[in-house]
Amino acid sequence: MTLMTGAQYIESLRKLNTKVYLFGEEVKNWVDHPMIRPSINCLALTYDLAQDPQYVDLMTAKSNLTGNTVNRFSHLHQSTADLVKKVKMQRLLGQKTASCFQRCVGMDAFNAMFSTTYEMDKKHGTQYHDRFKKYVTYIQDNDLVVDGAMTDPKGDRGVSPSQQRDPDLFLRIVEKRADGIVVRGAKCHQTGSINSHEHLIMPTQAMTEADKSYAVSFAIQSDVPGLFMVYGRQSCDTRKLEKDADVDLGNKQFGGQEALVVFDDVFIPNDRVFMCEEYDFSGMLVERFAGYHRQSYGGCKVGVGDVIIGAAALAADYNGAQKASHIKDKLIEMTHLNETLYCCGIACSAEGYATEAGNYQIDLLLANVCKQNVTRFPYEIVRLAEDIAGGLMVTMPSEQDFKSDLKVGQSGKSIGEWCNKFFAAAPGVTTENRMRVLRFLENICLGSSAVGYRTESMHGAGSPQAQRIMIARQGNIAQKKELAKVLAGIKE
């Protein structure tokens, strides 16, 4: 099959009977729902750019499984050059959408599962790797979107999965059959889950033998019996439901999406099971997936950061403040922070290496340093953008007020005339354009696009402490002490 276009991708979603719930009700036509469609548009762009000759080198790759051209989001990395192109692709899409384009998790899950199943088979004599290769081939041949799902609700963080008062707070195997398994539980905060054709499920943490029923990985279609999703709310989300909404939406075309994915005794056939109680490999899988996904943030967040810097500079122009030295300095600082994130994404890619299975793994230490920076720098970038934009970003009247013909006051002017008069911009700039850039910044810094930038920068791919644990493991302090002993002349 040839690569799909964005339009074909959207039509393929209509063929699914995915169960989606929002505001306590089932959404029958979720593809065209105004709160959900912007996130679908993001994914559609990943298809359209793969058709564009200008971007085909970044957006596509040659499959090592079939030799065919595939979308890079379903590719198994074959070199450090592939790892670098991944980051560059993610920056490009961040620039084009200023949001979360949702396919990174599946791509990162593919590569983590590929190498882990190979080593699992080597130790346990299982057949997971061949199964997984067939599954990836199926995804590549049909150009499908896969949601990589790792995060469980977790319940009481102080105890293990098997010690939870409610055993379903971690996804688990509740029945083993000759032809497959039955699973129960949920995955939460699932990026792009509603907009995906398939889901690749992974355990959320290292497991012990007592937790072996939670050590499970499998693939499942979005519309199988027993699987349903509850759409996650975002700040300012109901603005999309307002009549003729435009300027107040900020980033009108694109947006992120998260959901709670519930597995109510879902059957998984054997050919789609890639881990079944091999608890000793759950930690390896989590570590490798987290490394890939932390690398991803050195691309996607940088692309969105490019847009934020541009919008802040526009706001300064429209406010007539672009010549102020402190404005120039803030834009320099924002650029410095953003490019530092990019450096980490490129560095952990360039320092990658081949796994036993043959695909390429990033440098885990540098990937975790990358994500640790992402938990900090975007917050400063946003703070500076809000500083440059000014308080009007969060106190501005609505679009309806700017357009209102209602006469008020003694002079006979309309509400719209008053608003346009008192919120006038610099010479040569319309009030509407000033309003647009401020709403755009509000949307990214505080609103529904923030799911792809601000708070998601903190918690996506693991909280800051998760990276610090990995940095402690990978930092090799003992070797650094030996370096110091040699140079200091210390003999023990």
Give per-residue pLDDT as tens, 328-360: 999 999 999 999 999 999 999 999 999 999 999
Block residue for tokens 């384009």? 101
Question: Is there a contact between 443 and 245 (Cβ–Cβ < 8 Å)?
Answer: no
Which of 258, 386, 399, 442 is catalytic? The answer is 258
Active-site annotation holds for 297: yes
Which of 9, 118, 297, 360 is catalytic? The answer is 297
pTM of the model: 0.97
The CA distance from 449 to 304, in Å, is: 10
Which of 104, 276, 344, 445 is catalytic? The answer is 104
* Gyration radius (Cα) of the chain, Å: 24
The pLDDT of residue 401: 97
Residues near 490 by beta carbon (within 8 Å), at least 6 away in sequence: 484
CATH value of 286-482 in 1.10.10.10, 2.60.120.10, 1.20.140.10, 3.30.750.24 = 1.20.140.10
Copy the structure tokens of residue 288. 């490798």
The CA distance from 416 to 409, in Å, is: 12
* Residue 71, H or E segment: strand 69-71
Angle between helices 282-319 and 325-350 (to 10 degrees): 160
Report DSSP letters for 155-222, one per residue. S-TTS-GGG-SSGGGS-EEEEEETTEEEEEEEE-S-TTSTT-SEEEE--SS---GGGGGG-EEEEEET
The pLDDT of residue 448: 55
Active-site annotation holds for 340: no
For residue 59, give Cα distances in angstroms to 40, 52, 90, 93, 327: 18, 9, 9, 10, 36
Copy the structure tokens of residue 49. 């750019």
Residues of the chain with pLDDT under 70: 1, 447-452
Using alpha carbons only, what angle is made at residue 234 by residues 230 and 240, rounded to the nearest 5 degrees? 100
Active-site annotation holds for 293: yes
Of the CA atoms within 13 Å of residue 207, those in its CB half-sphere come to: 28
Strand locations in 282-401 (E): 353-354, 360-361
Active-site annotation holds for 300: yes
Q: Among 287, 291, 286, 272, which residue's Cα sits nearest to residue 150? A: 286
Active-site annotation holds for 21: no
Give per-residue pLDDT as tens, 378-394: 999 999 999 999 999 99
Using alpha carbons only, what angle is made at residue 441 by residues 43 and 329, rounded to the nearest 5 degrees? 120
Which of 293, 370, 375, 453 is catalytic? The answer is 293
Angle between helices 282-319 and 80-97 (to 10 degrees): 40
The CA distance from 305 to 488, in Å, is: 43
The CA distance from 251 to 453, in Å, is: 13
Question: Is there a contact between 355 and 118 (Cβ–Cβ < 8 Å)?
Answer: yes
Question: Is there a contact between 423 and 434 (Cβ–Cβ < 8 Å)?
Answer: yes
Which of 42, 188, 300, 344 is catalytic? The answer is 300
Q: Where are the domains of the chain?
A: 6-278, 286-482
The pLDDT of residue 236: 87
The pLDDT of residue 450: 53
Helix (H, G, I), strand (E, B) or coil at 273: strand
The CA distance from 485 to 330, in Å, is: 42
Instruction: Check for a shared fold between 6-278 and 286-482.
Output: no
The pLDDT of residue 235: 86
Fold of the CATH domain 6-278? Butyryl-CoA Dehydrogenase, subunit A; domain 2 (2.40.110)
Which of 9, 60, 100, 189 is catalytic? The answer is 100
Give per-residue pLDDT as tens, 170-183: 999 999 999 999 99
